[in-house]
Amino acid sequence: MKIAQFLPWIGKDEYDATASCFEKNWITEGPKAKEFEEKLLELTGARFGIFAPNGTLALYLGLRALGIGPGDEVIVPDFTFIGSATSVEMTGARPVFVDVNRRNFQIDLTNADAIVTEKTKAIMPVHIYGTIADMGAVTAFAARHGLKVIEDAAQALGVRRSGVHAGCFGDVGTFSFFADKTITTGEGGMVVTNDESIYERLRYLRNQGRINRGTFVHPEIGYNFRMTDMQCAVGLRQLEKLPEIIERKNRILDNYKSQLGDMPGIKFFEPDEGADLIPFRVCILTDQAEALSECMKENEIETRTFFYPLHRQPCFEYLKDEGAEHSMDDSSFPNSIYGYEHGICLPTYPTLSDEEINYVCDVIKEYKDGS
């Protein structure tokens, strides 16, 4: 049996949903995009939203709308996909890394006061693996230091904490609709905000420096960050499936836990109390992560490690040379390193069958029994 790490749940419904775009000869951003936007705002509870070509560019737009630029610094968790940090670099600002907690690898602000300087202008909590960071702590920290808050909620669509949707705690929130996200449009992203002035800046930034199409007068500098109606037609169908996607993902998690939850040396990723979990992946921690991953690979089960710490990324070596006030040493990021060295992401996608889950669990049990 061969089991992929992830497969998008798309098919004839999504294919058929795009037909009207061809029938009406409207393939760029149009009526389907408007409908998709309205439904996403209804889901999240945000007042305003705009689309972006992908999650990384959604972050870039959000940062730019907050006024982040050259000479600024943005606090980013060390444990996240690299796009969180490269979006900061795209603005000309500098990402400054902070460690995460060891419980569920959300941003940890215990030692973050020490990395704030006069250049620090924003903080970017990242809602990792389908749950939400402690946004009470983040917003209090931001208020204390006069920082903007931009939430990377790429992995947290549909997820709430104390009744508030991910991405709606701070000044700006962003989502991704990449193939492995909770719902997909292939590529795509969204920026949400409750601040009308930020929304106006976003509108100029994403649409060539103008509010409306069909004019060649551009009051501001802007770019083309639009999506297509074909993508949004797929997104609308995916949104219809969202309740079932959530139900299936939680059932998969429950199945894994029922078979592996009591196994010595295996610990499951858990959300904070009061925070939802829609499993982006089923994540486990084990002291034998590398060897177990290799065993699973030999049995044709595709796994993934947890994120490689950003402070170790070769592309960010230049940060070590640009100033000594921020530590890039391993000693400052013990939990991020622990997660990378001990974490395994098990196959988790809506069409994963019980038979396939049983096979994954049997391979893990056989390995643990023989180790």
The pLDDT value given to residue 215:
82
275, β-bridge pairs: 161
Last residue of a domain, one of 179, 210, 236: 236
Query: Tell me: the pLDDT tens digits for 197-229?
Result: 999 999 999 999 998 877 899 999 999 999 999
Give 300-317 pLDDT, tens digit per residue. 999 999 999 999 999 999
State the burial class of residue 200 (Cβ atoms within 10 Å of its Cβ: 0-12, 13-18, 19+): middle
The answer to whether position 181 is within a domain reads: yes
5 found inside a domain: no
- Burial category of 197 from C-beta neighbours within 10 Å (exposed 0-12, middle 13-18, buried 19 and up): exposed
CATH of the domain at 201: 3.40.640.10
Q: What is the pLDDT of residue 324?
A: 53
- Measured in whole angstroms, the distance separating CA 310 from the mean position of its chain's CA atoms is 15
Residues 97 and 132 in one domain: yes
The reported pLDDT for the residue numbered 113 is 96
Question: Do both 204 and 89 map to the same domain?
Answer: yes
Would 6 be classed as within a structural domain? Answer: no
How much of the chain exceeds pLDDT 70, in percent? 98
Average pLDDT over residues 131-149: 98
Is 64 found in the same domain as 168?
yes
Residue 329 phi/psi, 5-degree rounding, is -80, 150
- Beta-carbon contacts of 294 under 8 Å, excluding residues fewer than 6 positions away, are none
Q: Are residues 252 and 229 in the same domain?
A: no
Q: Residues 227, 253: one domain?
A: no
- Token pair of 292, please? 């177990």
Residue holding tokens 């904490």? 161
Domain final residue, candidates 202, 236, 270: 236
Looking at every residue in the chain, the average pLDDT score rounds to: 96
| Residue 190 reports pLDDT greater than 60 | yes
Helices (H), 261-353: 289-298, 318-321, 334-342
Write the DSSP assignment of 7-73 as a string of letters. Answer: -----HHHHHHTHHHHHTT--BSSHHHHHHHHHHHHHH--SEEEEESSHHHHHHHHHHHTT--TT-E
In this prediction the pTM is 0.96
Mark whether 195 and 278 lie in a shared domain: no
Domain that holds residue 109: 12-236
Within-domain flag for 38: yes
CATH of the domain at 281: 3.90.1150.10
Contact 166, 160 (CB under 8 A): yes
351 belongs to a structural domain = yes
What confidence tens digit (pLDDT) does each residue in 249-300 have?
Answer: 999 999 999 999 999 999 999 999 999 999 999 999 999 999 999 999 999 9
Residues 105 and 188 in one domain: yes
Choose the final residue of a domain: 171, 206, 236. 236
| SS3 state of residue 206 | helix
Q: Catalogue the E-assigned strands of the chain.
A: 48-52, 73-77, 94-98, 120-123, 148-152, 160-161, 164-165, 172-176, 189-193, 267-268, 282-285, 304-305, 343-346
Q: Does residue 59 contact residue 87 with C-beta atoms inside 8 Å?
A: yes
Q: Are residues 74 and 217 both part of a single domain?
A: yes
- Together in a domain, 251 and 118: no
Across the range 169-185, mean pLDDT stands at 98
Cβ atoms within 10 Å of 12's Cβ, excluding its own: 7
pLDDT for position 320 = 82
Q: Are residues 289 and 170 in the same domain?
A: no
Rounded Cα distance between 94 and 68, Å, is 10
7, part of any domain: no
What is the number of residues in the chain? 371
Q: What percent of the chain has pLDDT over 90?
A: 93
The pLDDT value given to residue 326: 75
Domain total of the chain: 2
Q: Do 73 and 45 share a domain, yes or no?
A: yes
Mean pLDDT of 325-345: 93
Is residue 78, in this structure, part of any structural domain at all? yes
CA distance 125 to 112: 12
Q: How many helices (H) and strands (E) does the chain have?
A: 12, 13
Residues 16 and 30 in one domain: yes
- Main-chain dihedrals φ then ψ at residue 192, nearest 5 degrees: -125, 155
Return the number of other C-beta atoms located less than 10 Å from residue 7's C-beta: 14
Is the pLDDT at 371 greater than 70? The verdict is no
Residue 195 resides in a domain: yes
